[in-house]
């Protein structure tokens, strides 16, 4: 089996993905396979997230986006939702010092108005503490849905058209992109999904038009640096054509 050191030697640091997105899946299944409550899986997944963030900083990756809580996750049992919200608060207060020490800037993708004041306070604290950092842009997708994001952007643009601020002829891909949560950031080059499922689950629908996908059976709590490096090496071995042709 290839080692982390071998993967690092294979990695071309001059052509790393600028933006990596991750669907952190499999926490509940990981816990249940061990006879534990699903919440243990969410707790265990925090170490995986910590390792990935640190590695992104070490490698100089510009943007990391993780799918932390989707608009569909509200359908889960209230007890699990409450645990996830408590875990989010704990994570932000516990990790913010290290994140700032590593020059990480925290950004939220999604509508946080549905969260409790305690959750919103933790989010506001993390954003404020890290706002002047200029290293890794760490996007936490919270109460996020790709369809909602596109609809919301469309409504804002439509309102500007109605007010005469934008002409219909000015509407194009660049304009819509500037009204998304990820405005000003490069689109994902690589999307990683753990735990074996091969679907998008309403994540960054506009932004991943030409993103490379990397799926693994590894469940998120078991995902470590070596798996992230495997994804990067695999990404660098692909030929990206963006709808055109590639000749060797």
**Span 136-185, pLDDT tens digits:** 999 999 999 999 999 999 999 999 999 999 999 999 999 999 999 999 99
pLDDT above 60 (res 114): yes
Active-site positions?
25, 73
Per-residue pLDDT band at 242 (split at 50, 70, 90): low
> What is the dihedral sign for C-alpha 226, 63, 71, 198?
negative
pLDDT of residue 69: 97
Per-residue pLDDT band at 60 (split at 50, 70, 90): very high
Q: Where are the strands (E) in 53-172, listed by range? A: 63-70, 105-109, 137-144
Per-residue pLDDT band at 246 (split at 50, 70, 90): very low
What DSSP line would sit under 204-240, residue for residue? Answer: STTTTTTPEEEE-SS-GGG--HHHHHHHHHHHHTS--
Per-residue pLDDT band at 248 (split at 50, 70, 90): very low
pLDDT of residue 182: 98
pLDDT above 50 (res 90): yes
pTM of the model: 0.94
The residue ranges of every structural domain in the chain are: 16-145+186-236
- Tell me, which fold does domain 16-145+186-236 have in CATH? Undecaprenyl pyrophosphate synthetase (3.40.1180)
pLDDT of residue 247: 41
């Amino acid at each position: 089996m290839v080692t982390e050191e071998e993967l690092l030697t294979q990695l071309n640091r001059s052509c790393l993905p600028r933006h990596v997105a991750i669907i952190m899946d499999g926490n509940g299944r990981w816990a249940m396979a061990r006879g534990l409550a699903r919440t243990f899986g969410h707790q265990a997944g925090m170490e995986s997230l910590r390792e990935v963030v640190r590695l992104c900083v070490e490698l100089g990756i510009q943007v990391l986006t993780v799918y932390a809580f989707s608009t569909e996750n509200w359908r889960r049992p209230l007890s699990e939702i409450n645990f996830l919200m408590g875990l989010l608060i704990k994570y932000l207060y516990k990790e913010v010092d290290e994140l700032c020490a590593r020059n990480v800037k925290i950004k939220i993708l999604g509508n946080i108005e549905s969260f409790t004041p305690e959750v919103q306070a933790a989010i506001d604290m993390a954003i404020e503490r890290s706002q002047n950092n200029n290293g890794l842009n760490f996007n936490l997708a919270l109460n996020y849905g790709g369809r909602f994001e596109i609809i919301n952007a469309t409504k804002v643009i439509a309102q500007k058209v109605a007010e005469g601020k934008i002409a219909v002829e000015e509407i194009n891909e660049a304009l819509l992109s500037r009204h998304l949560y990820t405005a000003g950031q490069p689109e994902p080059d690589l999307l990683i999904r753990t735990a074996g499922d091969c679907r998008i689950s309403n994540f960054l629908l506009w932004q991943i038009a030409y993103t490379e996908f990397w799926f693994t059976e590894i469940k998120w709590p078991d995902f470590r640096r070596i798996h992230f490096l495997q994804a990067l090496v695999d990404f660098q071995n692909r030929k990206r054509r963006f709808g055109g042709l590639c000749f060797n």
